[in-house]
């Protein structure tokens, strides 16, 4: 039975409310917040926070379109039901004497007037739930191939190896070069008075990151990622990485910027095997056990989480390459 436009609208609203409820529940404590971010971080990097959560609730592992799987050399199994994602659709129209008209139906004369700026084109984006992707388990990919292609088996070790630590530091340096931020490491003779008791800092005015000479090796790795997140999220710099990732770059409070930076550091280092409960305490102290997040509306919360995911994904991809 075909659903009506109103029914589809209500279904989308229901899903959106479920996602908002999940964020509301997660931000009541640092532990729940970390759990939620880990929950969605494992899914396809092409998708937003909303779609990653939606795919995760459907039990998805790795997804692609029907043709996408065929291009990879696999076939979706007969009878498989596609999974739902939220799909944006941008419509372009302009005004005529008879009302609105879609850009696709513009006459040659109207197109010329549009090019000359005589007619203004208006854009708006709508969203709809569509069944258009399939999980890897719905294809004929052999089970023993799935981990080799998608699961990064070499990352399932305990603790952060020296090799991975070096690669993280090297990646941070490369990204700093990319966004024109100077990296002053603890090995460059900086005095402890330059940093105080902090493990490091990012200076927006000086466009530099400095780490504390007294940091342990593991602290230094995590601090570098933390401060790099601050640099990327700096709303004043409008750097090439923030533009590439299409970050929201909304001015947030200092405490929430610390949450974003620490969460990014935890996501990246955890991905490579380093787990520290310190992050939970850090997030709790800066957000008053999540209360500062509760003061935001749901959309702003999701934007903050989405930026964390995008930056974490970007850094992890760079390290793995």
pTM score > 0.75 for this model?
no
Q: Supply the pLDDT for residue 121.
A: 85
* Nearest partner of 233 among 308, 318, 317, judged by Cα: 308
Bridge partners, 125 (sequence order)? 90
Separation between Cα atoms, residue 308 and residue 301, nearest integer Å:
11
Q: Supply the pLDDT for residue 148.
A: 46
Q: Supply the pLDDT for residue 315.
A: 94
Phi, psi of 98 (to 5 degrees): -100, 5
Looking at 95-191, list the stretches that DSSP marks H as alpha helix, in order from N- to C-terminal side. Answer: 108-115, 146-150, 162-178
Tokens at 166, concatenated: 């070096």
Taking a C-beta distance cutoff of 8 angstroms, is the pair 235, 251 a contact? Answer: yes
* Nearest partner of 269 among 46, 55, 34, 59, judged by Cα: 34
Q: Supply the pLDDT for residue 156.
A: 30
Domain ranges of the chain: 154-320
- CA 125 vs CA 90, 122, 302: distances in Å: 4, 10, 19
Separation between Cα atoms, residue 279 and residue 259, nearest integer Å:
9
* Nearest partner of 63 among 119, 139, 127, 130, judged by Cα: 139
* Nearest partner of 198 among 161, 230, 163, 160, judged by Cα: 230
Taking a C-beta distance cutoff of 8 angstroms, is the pair 125, 86 a contact? Answer: no
Taking a C-beta distance cutoff of 8 angstroms, is the pair 272, 319 a contact? Answer: yes
Give 67: exposed, middle or buried? Use CB within 10 Å, 0-12, 13-18, 19+: exposed
Each of the 321 residues of the chain gets a pLDDT tens digit; together they read 567 878 888 888 888 888 888 888 787 788 778 778 877 776 667 888 888 888 877 777 688 899 999 998 999 988 888 888 998 888 887 888 778 888 888 888 888 888 888 888 888 788 888 888 988 878 888 866 764 444 322 223 246 778 888 899 999 999 999 999 998 865 454 443 344 446 788 888 888 998 877 677 888 888 899 999 999 998 887 889 988 998 877 666 777 888 898 889 888 988 888 876 667 767 776 677 777 777 888 888 888 889 999 999 999 999 988
């Amino acid at each position: 039975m075909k659903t009506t436009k109103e029914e589809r609208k209500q279904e989308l609203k229901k899903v959106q409310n479920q996602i908002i409820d999940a964020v509301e529940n997660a931000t009541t404590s640092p532990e729940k917040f970390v759990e939620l971010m880990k929950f969605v971080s494992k899914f396809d990097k092409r998708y937003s926070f909303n779609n990653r959560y939606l795919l995760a609730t459907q039990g998805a592992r790795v997804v692609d379109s029907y043709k996408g799987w065929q291009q990879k050399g696999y076939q979706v199994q007969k009878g498989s039901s596609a999974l739902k994602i939220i799909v944006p659709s941008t419509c372009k129209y302009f005004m005529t004497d008879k009302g609105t008209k879609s850009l696709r139906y513009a006459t040659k004369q109207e197109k010329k007037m549009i090019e000359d700026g005589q007619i203004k084109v208006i854009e708006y984006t709508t969203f709809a739930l569509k069944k258009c992707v399939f999980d890897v388990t719905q294809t004929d990919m052999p089970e023993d191939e799935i981990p080799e292609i998608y699961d990064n088996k070499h990352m399932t070790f305990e603790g952060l190896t020296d090799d991975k630590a070096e690669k993280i530091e090297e990646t941070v340096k490369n990204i700093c070069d990319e966004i024109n931020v100077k990296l002053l490491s603890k090995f460059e003779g900086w005095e402890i008075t330059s940093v105080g008791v902090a493990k490091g800092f990012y200076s927006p005015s000086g466009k530099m990151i400095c780490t504390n000479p007294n940091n342990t090796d593991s602290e230094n790795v995590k601090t570098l990622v933390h401060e790099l997140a601050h640099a990327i999220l700096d709303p004043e710099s409008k750097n090439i990485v923030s533009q590439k990732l299409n970050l929201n770059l909304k001015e947030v409070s200092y405490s929430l910027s610390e949450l974003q930076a620490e969460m990014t550091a935890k996501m990246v280092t955890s991905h490579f095997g380093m787990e520290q409960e310190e992050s939970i305490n850090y997030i709790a102290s800066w957000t008053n056990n999540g209360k500062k997040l509760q003061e935001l509306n749901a959309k702003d919360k999701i934007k903050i989480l989405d930026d964390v995911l995008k930056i974490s994904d970007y850094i992890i991809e760079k390290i793995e390459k």
